[in-house]
């Protein structure tokens, strides 16, 4: 039976933030979401045009309906609109003894005030002291403390000042700084680094706090829940949707899509490795120092999106055997090649190292090839930049091969490029059989 989460906040008619973002997040993470709506907003990707606050009695009736029927594991608060609503919510959460995450929503990302000025002091006096954790961004932290958060020192000051208001813990989100979040719990400050993700970000704050609430409901520690919520939000940002005329919403489903894509890549990789190992003739085109095979998920942006063997395909006698397991982030070398190829053609998600000398000259000359010489690597540039530049400067269509002189000088290695690991495995098997049968 799924656990139940209660979200208390405003409705976003554009579907990107607020209750809508919360319920999507909670559902994706496998829990059942319930809600108490505090306000209805006329809102889209351009901003908040109008706010229709609900009466305290209406909010109280919703809360009573939920907690009288469901066993709520965790709650979260978002947009509360006015002081009377804060009073009602605080009193209900106190009586129900519900642990909750307090997201002190003041303004919408796209623009528009979501909390009346007089309500802020009521949040500080009545709601924050009850909270398991408070999750302001740097602007909300400044509104709560008067401290402008610009660096580690000012973040530490703001953390302790909010903690003095009575919650058990505080997380200041650093998305408007260097993407490092600051967590204060049990007198210890933890820095939770993240990566800048460009894209549509409407609703990312709501998504983060809803994910944090969900992971806490699933009994993760606060630190682990914060790390997982951060990753969930980054995935939602990567999948952000360019809809509407302004800042588009994040996509909570991207997390599930990403997990599904990773599973598909792992399955494709294993099928490819089985094909390679089962072909006796493959021995002849595997480099002496071994081969590797890599494949990326769609839209890959870094090595963690690319699966490869954390060992190699190695020669043992006259056989080729798999050394190591398939793992994402296992090969920075193959990742650089794949990311360069994908910058040219987003479908070019796979590469396999083979031995160039095994093929006759006329076959090699028939392959569209780009040559990379690591000895000519420009100063101050990464291999990835070199490869991307090579693709853009010399290719008009996706090449068959990226040719890389081995650093040890033992072999000339070429990376066979393709759209999937199994496609490359079939090509390698075909080459091996043609060699075995004397047809090339």
Task: Based on the fold, state whether residues 284 and 406 are members of the same structural domain.
Answer: yes
How much is the average pLDDT of 260-288?
A: 92
Task: Based on the fold, state whether residues 21 and 47 are members of the same structural domain.
Answer: yes
**Higher pLDDT residue, 362 or 431?**
431
How much is the average pLDDT of 36-62?
A: 95
- Alpha-carbon torsion angle 422, 427, 430, 436, nearest 10: -110
% of the chain with per-residue pLDDT over 70: 85
- Under the banding of pLDDT at 50, 70 and 90, the label for residue 413 is low
In a domain, 256, yes or no: no
* Total domains present in the chain: 2
Whether 287 shows a pLDDT value over 80: the answer reads yes
Q: What is the CATH number of the domain that holds 420?
A: 3.40.225.10
Domain end call among 251, 279, 304: 251
Separation of alpha carbons 230 and 255, rounded Å: 12
Whether 397 shows a pLDDT value over 60: the answer reads no
- Residue 277 domain boundaries: 264-436
pLDDT of residue 430: 86
Q: What is the CATH number of the domain that holds 225?
A: 3.40.1190.20
Separation of alpha carbons 15 and 8, rounded Å: 16
> For the chain, what is the mean pLDDT?
86
How much is the average pLDDT of 18-34?
A: 97
Tell me: the pLDDT tens digits for 187-196? 999 999 988 8
pLDDT of residue 375: 42
- Under the banding of pLDDT at 50, 70 and 90, the label for residue 320 is confident
- Under the banding of pLDDT at 50, 70 and 90, the label for residue 383 is very low
Task: Based on the fold, state whether residues 25 and 91 are members of the same structural domain.
Answer: yes
pLDDT of residue 359: 56
Distance of CA 389 to the CA centre of its chain: 27
pLDDT of residue 421: 96
Whether 367 shows a pLDDT value over 80: the answer reads no
pLDDT of residue 317: 83
Task: Based on the fold, state whether residues 332 and 230 are members of the same structural domain.
Answer: no
- Under the banding of pLDDT at 50, 70 and 90, the label for residue 270 is very high
Domain end call among 227, 251, 275: 251
For residue 90, give every residue at least 6 positions away whose Cβ sits within 8 Å of its Cβ, in sequence order, or none. Answer: 122, 126, 127, 130
Degrees to nearest 5, angle at CA 376 with 371 and 382: 90
pLDDT of residue 207: 97
pTM for the whole thing?
0.78
How much is the average pLDDT of 343-351?
A: 87
pLDDT of residue 44: 93
Task: Based on the fold, state whether residues 219 and 351 are members of the same structural domain.
Answer: no
Domain end call among 251, 282, 317: 251
- Under the banding of pLDDT at 50, 70 and 90, the label for residue 415 is confident
pLDDT of residue 109: 67
Write out the chain in H/E/C secondary structure: CCCEEEEEEEEECCCCCHHHHHHHHHHHCCCEEEEEEEEEEEEECCEEEEEEECCHHHHHHHHHHHHHHCCEEEEEECCCECHHHHHHHHHHHHHHCCCEEECCCCECCCCCECECCCHHHHHHHHHHHHCCEECCEHHHHHHHHCCCCCCHHHHHHHHHHHHCCCCCEEEEECCCCCCCEEEEECCEEEEECCCCCCCCCECHHHHHHHHHHHHHHCCCCHHHHHHHHHHHHHHHHHCCCCCCCCCCECCCHHHHHHHHHHHHHHHHHHHHHHHHHCCHHHHHHCCCCCECEEEECCCCCCHHHEEEECCEEEEECCEEEEECCEEECCCHHHHHHHHHHHHHCCCCCEEEEEEHHHCCHHHHHCCCEEEECHHHCCCCCCHHHHHHHHHHHHCCCCCCEEEEECCCCCCEEEEEEECCHHHHHHHHHHHHHHHHCCCC
In a domain, 257, yes or no: no
Whether 417 shows a pLDDT value over 80: the answer reads yes
Whether 325 shows a pLDDT value over 50: the answer reads yes
Distance of CA 153 to the CA centre of its chain: 28
**φ, ψ dihedrals at 377, nearest 5°:** -55, 125
Residues in the chain: 440
Task: Based on the fold, state whether residues 225 and 280 are members of the same structural domain.
Answer: no
């Amino acid at each position: 039976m799924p656990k139940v989460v209660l979200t208390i906040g405003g409705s976003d008619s554009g579907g990107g933030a607020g209750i809508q973002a919360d319920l999507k997040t909670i559902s994706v993470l496998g829990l059942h979401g319930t809600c108490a709506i505090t306000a209805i907003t006329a809102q889209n990707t351009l901003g908040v045009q109008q706010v229709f606050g609900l009466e305290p009695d209406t909010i109280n009736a919703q809360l009573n309906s939920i907690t009288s029927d469901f066993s709520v594991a965790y709650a979260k608060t978002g947009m509360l609109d006015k002081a009377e609503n804060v009073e009602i919510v605080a009193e209900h959460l106190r009586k129900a003894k519900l642990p909750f995450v307090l997201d002190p929503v003041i303004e919408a990302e796209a623009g528009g005030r979501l909390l009346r000025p007089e309500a802020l002091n009521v949040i500080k006096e009545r709601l924050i002291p009850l909270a398991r954790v408070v999750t302001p961004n740097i602007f909300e932290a400044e509104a709560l403390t008067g401290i402008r958060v610009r660096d580690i020192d000012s973040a530490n000051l703001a953390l302790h000042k909010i903690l003095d208001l009575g919650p058990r813990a505080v997380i200041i989100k650093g998305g408007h700084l260097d993407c490092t979040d600051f967590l204060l719990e049990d007198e210890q400050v933890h820095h939770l680094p993240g990566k800048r993700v460009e894209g549509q970000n409407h609703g990312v704050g709501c998504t983060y706090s809803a994910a944090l609430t969900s992971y806490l409901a699933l009994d993760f520690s606060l630190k682990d829940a914060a790390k997982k919520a951060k990753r969930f939000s980054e995935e939602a940002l990567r999948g952000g949707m360019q809809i509407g005329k302004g800042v588009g919403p994040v996509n909570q489903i991207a997390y599930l899509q990403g997990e599904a894509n990773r599973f598909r890549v792992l399955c494709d990789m294993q099928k490819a490795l089985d094909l390679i190992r089962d072909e006796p003739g493959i021995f002849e085109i595997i480099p002496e120092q071994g081969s590797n095979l890599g494949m990326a998920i769609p839209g890959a942006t870094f090595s963690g999106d690319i699966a490869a063997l954390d060992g190699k395909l190695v020669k043992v006698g006259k056989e080729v055997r798999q050394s190591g397991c398939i793992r994402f982030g296992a090969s920075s070398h193959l990742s650089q090649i794949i990311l360069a190829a994908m910058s040219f053609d987003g479908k070019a998600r796979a590469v396999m190292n083979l031995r160039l000398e095994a093929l006759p000259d006329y076959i090699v000359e028939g392959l569209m090839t780009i040559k990379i010489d690591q000895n000519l690597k420009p100063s101050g540039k990464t291999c990835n930049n070199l490869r991307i530049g090579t693709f853009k400067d010399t290719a008009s269509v996706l090449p068959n091969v990226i040719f890389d002189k081995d650093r040890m000088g033992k072999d000339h290695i070429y990376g066979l490029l393709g759209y999937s690991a199994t496609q490359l495995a079939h090509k390698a098997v075909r080459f091996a059989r043609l060699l075995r049968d004397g047809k090339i």
